């Protein structure tokens, strides 16, 4: 007995070339921001250098984006915070209010961009991070 009168069962479409690697790149970017900073960045850079020459365009695009975004995240979250504290009185509560507000705003923005990149990777689409991303060739 057919499932319904004229409908055929859904067939899965084959994955886009490089989809798994693209999803891994975006997942490592998010894990680097949220759980294991440094360790996931090292794995991400290793994946980039291992697969940049032979991987499909989708994977290479996401690897380039996540490595560049991770470097910018390190600069925006680490270096700028140190500069803010160095240029202010670190004993002042106003300095720490500025630092906390800065970190919350930029960190959450980077995480949201990473979630968007992960969604694009899971859909088999390329994604360029706004302002901090490198154009895909």
Reported confidence tier of residue 10, pLDDT bands at 50, 70, 90: very low
Structural domains in the chain (count): 1
User: pLDDT for 27-41, tens place per residue?
Assistant: 999 999 999 999 999
How many DSSP H helices and E strands does the chain contain? Answer: 5, 0
Q: Is residue 10 part of a domain?
A: no
User: What is the Cα–Cα distance from 9 to 12, expressed in whole angstroms?
Assistant: 10
* Higher-pLDDT residue of 42, 4: 42
pLDDT of residue 8: 47
Helix (H) or strand (E) holding 82: helix 80-87
* Domain interval for residue 102: 19-122
Pick the closest to residue 81 from 109, 107, 58 (CA basis): 107
Q: Which positions ≥6 away from 76 have C-beta within 8 Å?
A: 106, 110
CB 25 within 8 A of CB 59: yes
- Does 126 have pLDDT greater than 80? yes
The predicted-structure confidence for 52-83, as pLDDT tens digits, reads as follows 999 999 999 999 999 999 999 999 999 999 99
CB 26 within 8 A of CB 121: yes
Residue 13 falls inside a structural domain: no
């Amino acid at each position: 007995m057919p499932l319904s009168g004229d409908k055929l069962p859904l067939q899965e479409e084959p994955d886009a070339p490089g989809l798994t690697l693209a999803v891994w790149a975006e997942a490592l970017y998010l894990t680097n921001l949220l759980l294991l900073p440094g360790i996931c960045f090292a794995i991400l850079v290793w994946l980039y250098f291992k697969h940049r020459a032979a991987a499909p365009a989708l994977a290479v695009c996401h690897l380039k984006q996540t490595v560049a975004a991770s470097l910018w995240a390190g600069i925006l979250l680490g270096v700028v915070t140190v500069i803010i504290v160095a240029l202010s009185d670190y004993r002042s509560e106003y300095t720490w209010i500025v630092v906390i507000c800065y970190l919350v705003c930029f960190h959450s923005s980077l995480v949201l961009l990473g979630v968007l990149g992960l969604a694009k990777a899971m859909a088999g689409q390329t994604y360029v991070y706004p302002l901090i991303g490198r154009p895909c060739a």
